[in-house]
Amino acid sequence: MRVLARLSARADAAYDHAYHHKLRGRIWRALEGTDFDEQHESGEPPGFVYSNIFPWGEMQEGDERNLLVASPHESLLANVAEDFQADRELNVGEMPLWIDEVSALDVDVGEPGTSGTIETGTGVFVRLYEHHREKFGIEDGHGDSPTFWRPEHSIEPFTAAIEDNAQQKHDLFAPDYLPGPTEVEGPLFDGYELLKTYALPLTVTQGVEREVVLSKWRFDYTVRDDDHRRHLNLLLDCGVGGRNGLGLGFVNITNE
């Protein structure tokens, strides 16, 4: 489930590349006083993810832009939509925007047998923990600290890490009696095409900035069964990899 906010620029502005922390703050403000407010700063996946302000690039007054917010919780999206409609001003760093329209979108990878492609709209944040490094023979001298995935680590630890992360989200947001991604036979995706890897300074919390390694991907899939469909749709609602509360790992279906 998604909310689409159609926006217009209130003034000329350069694109603010440090939008993540500021946009996260706006969404959490929309959830103040709701049942979801207590999840803020809990350390667990927040149950929502969002796109960047798109299309990307410098804007002039009156230019049209868009923002997507996704979540498996319909009521969370309803609260965000209600707040966006009540407070139409959306200031993301140096980008002053106005919310013209808010609408709901329902996205689905399709019934079993459906093939398609999912592409990342924002960078994927993947950390390899000690058990990943031991399993795949990765030595980097970081001790107990997690390691950012890089292409030289090969694709296998990347797939293991995102499947472990998807299982964590399934444990949090799906009914207990249904099997998660690591509890069934078969991979999440049929194919992985790495588009690029890049480093980005990211404000992870107020006053704390870290340089992180992100990657962009194109994933091919064929829906095996209803469990696999639920797992893929959960990634559309929650994002791939970690730090989804900063808008990382947001994905779209680009071809069916």
pLDDT band at 175 (very low <50, low <70, confident <90, very high): very high
Residue 142 has pLDDT above 70, yes or no: no
d(CA 130, CA 139): 10
Note the pLDDT of residue 200: 87
Note the pLDDT of residue 138: 86
- Overall average pLDDT of the 194-210 stretch: 85
d(CA 4, CA 235): 17
Q: Could you tell me if 167 and 180 are in contact, meaning their C-beta atoms sit under 8 angstroms apart? A: yes
List pLDDT tens digits, range 54-68. Answer: 999 999 999 999 999
Total residue length of the chain: 256
Q: Could you tell me if 160 and 211 are in contact, meaning their C-beta atoms sit under 8 angstroms apart? A: no
> ∠ at Cα 80 (34, 89), nearest 5°?
120
Of the chain, the percentage scoring pLDDT greater than 70 comes to: 96
Distance of CA 210 to the CA centre of its chain: 18
- Overall average pLDDT of the 24-44 stretch: 84
Q: Of 74-83, 136-145, 182-191, give the lowest mean pLDDT range.
A: 136-145
Note the pLDDT of residue 24: 92
- Tell me the H-state helices in the chain: 19-30, 74-86, 130-136, 155-173, 226-238
Q: Is 245 exposed, middle or buried (0-12, 13-18, 19+ CB in 10 A)?
A: buried
List pLDDT tens digits, range 36-53. Answer: 887 776 777 888 999 999
Q: Could you tell me if 212 and 199 are in contact, meaning their C-beta atoms sit under 8 angstroms apart? A: yes
Q: One of 17, 40, 131, 142 is an active-site residue; which one?
A: 40
Average confidence score pLDDT of the chain: 92
**239 — alpha (psi -120 to 50), left (phi > 0) or beta?**
left
Structure tokens given for 179: 């099997």
Q: Is 40 a catalytic residue?
A: yes
Residue 133 has pLDDT above 90, yes or no: no
pTM value?
0.92
Tell me the backbone φ, ψ of residue 16, rounded to 5 degrees: -85, 105
Residue 140 has pLDDT above 80, yes or no: no
Tell me the backbone φ, ψ of residue 238, rounded to 5 degrees: -115, -15
Q: Of 30-39, 71-80, 98-107, give the lowest mean pLDDT range.
A: 30-39
Note the pLDDT of residue 141: 67
Note the pLDDT of residue 247: 94
Structure tokens given for 69: 């917010």
Residue 176 has pLDDT above 60, yes or no: yes
Amino acid, single-letter form, for residue 244: N
